[in-house]
């Protein structure tokens, strides 16, 4: 796994089923932290060198989402998670499963918070904005998706171009005609175009 992650992180070497079992046992004994204690626990886990602990942090946020206990006050922490120890394994989950849900619950955040992320020099914040609608399906805001993609055209950054293609590929499962027309009318990178049209016949 360490080689797969380009040697960026340390690992305990704990497999996913074992990690889940450990977390389940911990939660049964201690419960899920609340409010400031939760925020502090997430940040502390994120600061640890072993990558499994960042995944545990994400699992805890998943539980908060499931319980509908994650408020918009947590967004500064989310931004910290996106911009530190950044890699696709954490950022993409946060974008689609955490940011996507918070933004869907409170659409004003798309402008109030998302605008600064769209304009950021941080590629992972921009990738988050490209991907956050990925689970929206028929609720996808096509104009917003097109605008965000257009803002990132001409980028030489692999993770931006890959995200553009991936977001279009996912939306193509809902509206292939729109995606096909958008690709035809837009100067995408070869990577983005290839990904976008991957499953369109």
DSSP annotation string for 78-123: HHHHHHSS--HHHHHHIIIIIIHHHHHH-THHHHHTHHHHHT-S-H
What residues have CB less than 8 Å from 163, skipping those under 6 apart? 127, 130, 131
Residue 135 main-chain phi, psi, to 5 deg: -95, 5
Provide the whole-model pTM. 0.92
For 1-107, CATH number out of 1.10.10.10, 3.30.70.260, 3.40.50.2020, 1.25.10.90 equals 1.25.10.90
**What CATH code is assigned to 133-201?**
1.25.40.290
What are the tens digits of pLDDT across the range 90-132? 999 999 999 999 999 999 999 999 999 999 999 999 999 999 9
Is 174 within 8 Å of 142 (Cβ atoms)? no
Confidence of residue 89 (pLDDT cuts 50, 70, 90): very high
């Amino acid at each position: 796994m360490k080689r797969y992650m380009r040697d960026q992180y340390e690992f305990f070497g704990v497999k996913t089923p074992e990690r889940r079992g450990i977390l389940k046992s911990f939660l049964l004994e201690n419960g899920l932290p609340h409010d400031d204690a939760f925020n502090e626990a997430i940040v502390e886990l994120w600061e640890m060198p072993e990558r499994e602990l960042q995944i545990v942090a994400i699992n805890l946020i998943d539980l908060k989402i499931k319980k509908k206990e994650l408020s918009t006050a947590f967004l500064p922490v989310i931004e910290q998670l996106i911009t530190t120890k950044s890699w696709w394994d954490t950022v993409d989950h946060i974008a689609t499963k955490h940011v996507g849900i918070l933004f869907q619950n409170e659409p004003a955040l798309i402008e109030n918070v998302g605008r600064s992320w769209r304009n950021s020099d941080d590629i992972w914040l921009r990738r988050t904005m490209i991907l956050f609608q990925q689970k929206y399906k028929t609720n996808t805001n096509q104009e917003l998706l097109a605008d965000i993609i257009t803002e990132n055209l001409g980028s030489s950054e692999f993770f931006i171009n890959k995200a553009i293609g991936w977001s279009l590929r996912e939306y193509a499962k809902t509206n292939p005609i729109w995606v096909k027309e958008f690709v035809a009318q837009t100067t995408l990178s070869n990577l983005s175009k290839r990904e976008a049209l991957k499953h369109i016949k």
